[in-house]
Amino acid sequence: MPDIFPTIKRPTLLLDEKTARRNLHSMALRARQAGARFRPHFKTHQSAAIGEWFRDLEINAITVSSVDMAQYFARAGWQDILIAFPFNWREIDEVNQLASQIHLGLLVESRDTARFLNWHLNHPVDVWIKIDVGSQRTGLAWDDPEAVQALAADLQRGRQLRLRGLLTHAGHSYRARGAEEVCALHQQSMQRLTGLRDQLTQAGLPALEISIGDTPSCSLCDCTGADELRPGNFLFYDVQQSQIGSCQPADIAVAVACPVVALHPERNEAVVFGGAIHLSKDAFDLDGRPAYGLVCLPQPNGWGAPLPGAFVRGLSQEHGVLHLPEEDLARVRVGDLLCILPAHSCLTVTLMRSYLTLTGQVVPTMHSPE
């Protein structure tokens, strides 16, 4: 394997393909065991090249988070795409264009939007009703079946609309810690969704599918009962997921290699070229204070385990300020590289815009310069 580190000059997003493919295989297997369709969320990797790894496993249905991401993956040959974001009226032309080309799925949570779609859609699409099972971001409340039923009725009136089911993202699972807590929340979500579905069936609606998507539940819990799983973050994981318990630190498949530009042994700190425009300002809680990444040493085959007690304590535009224990700091020189495991890999990928694999290949994303 070539040593990639001597070639690295600037903050560079490293991708451990072997670990990512292992994460992918493992999740595909979990979905199969649960008897659910696997519709992975591509907002994490955002890369047509990495999408091919999924096709290797005969995965043909995907999730994206925006219309332009749907356009990018449609250009890459994906024919079954769900945009898991509330339909944005202002992109109706782009949605009509996509719906004329591929099997498209949309999310709806309001009757106004249902009416807008009924009026403006020129091609058939699948629609999913977004349900809030407790995350309080978007969706109709799980305990308001009348509202869901009224929306479903509007959607059924749409000539171009195929009502598919109830979709949720149990984002509150990100605040849980450990399999027991995550799976208790997951069970609650499933009970809320299946209960709602049963009420709707009794009210005369056809049987609706259930689609769930949070990486903690999909990584840790028995997802039997769901018709579709849409996790995304599982491909790379990150420090936030490792804190939840969805993965081990060794499962984290991306790291940002950052040049050391200053050492401050008097306060146990190193400063790297690698800031908020590389890692994002998303954070995790470390003993009550925010931290923006964990710190590893480069190794011939990638990077080592996180250095105990080391973390990114601050980020500004280009600077990362790292706390390092005395013995680690003593081994680091200006000009060295350190590898940072990001707090949140999806945001880091968006910012970094391309990957360097451990074998030295550059993998572009939808945001890469042409």
Residues at the site binding its own copies, with contacts judged by CB under 8 A = 8-10, 43, 65-68, 85-91, 94, 109-110, 112-113, 116, 136-138, 141, 171, 259, 261-264, 266-267, 271, 273, 276-277, 280-283, 314, 316-319, 321, 333-335, 346-347, 350-351, 369-370
Long-range contacts of 21-24 (CB under 8 A, 24+ apart): 21/53, 22/251, 23/234, 23/235, 23/236, 23/237, 23/247, 23/251, 23/253, 24/53, 24/54, 24/57, 24/234, 24/235
Q: What's the closest the beta carbon of residue 281 comes to its own copies, in angstroms?
A: 4
Q: What's the closest the beta carbon of residue 39 comes to its own copies, in angstroms?
A: 17
**Residue 211 and residue 195 in contact, taking contact as beta carbons nearer than 8 Å:** no
**Residue 152 and residue 205 in contact, taking contact as beta carbons nearer than 8 Å:** yes
- Our CB check for its own copies shows the closer of 75 and 264 to be 264
- Our CB check for its own copies shows the closer of 60 and 65 to be 65
Cα 202–193–84 angle (5° rounding)? 120
Q: What's the closest the beta carbon of residue 67 comes to its own copies, in angstroms?
A: 8
Q: What's the closest the beta carbon of residue 225 comes to its own copies, in angstroms?
A: 26
Q: What's the closest the beta carbon of residue 10 comes to its own copies, in angstroms?
A: 7
Query: 306: Cβ–Cβ under 8 A, 6 or more apart, which residues?
Result: 249, 294, 295, 296, 341
- Our CB check for its own copies shows the closer of 85 and 227 to be 85
Concatenate the DSSP letters of all residues of 93-127 into one string. HHHHHHHHHSEEEEEE--HHHHHHHHHH--S-EEE
Cα 211–217–218 angle (5° rounding)? 65
- Our CB check for its own copies shows the closer of 67 and 183 to be 67
> Which residue's entry shows tokens 């003993």?
287
Q: What's the closest the beta carbon of residue 254 comes to its own copies, in angstroms?
A: 16
- Our CB check for its own copies shows the closer of 247 and 279 to be 279
Q: What's the closest the beta carbon of residue 114 comes to its own copies, in angstroms?
A: 11
- Neighbouring CB atoms inside 10 A of 333's CB total 9
Which H/E stretch holds residue 319? Answer: strand 319-323
- Our CB check for its own copies shows the closer of 36 and 45 to be 45
HSE-CB of 164 using CA atoms within 13 angstroms: 19
- Our CB check for its own copies shows the closer of 36 and 272 to be 272
Query: 67: Cβ–Cβ under 8 A, 6 or more apart, which residues?
Result: 83, 88, 91, 94, 95, 98
Q: Rounded to an integer, what distance in angstroms lies between the CA atom of residue 116 and that of residue 131?
A: 19
Q: What's the closest the beta carbon of residue 185 comes to its own copies, in angstroms?
A: 18
- Our CB check for its own copies shows the closer of 21 and 115 to be 115
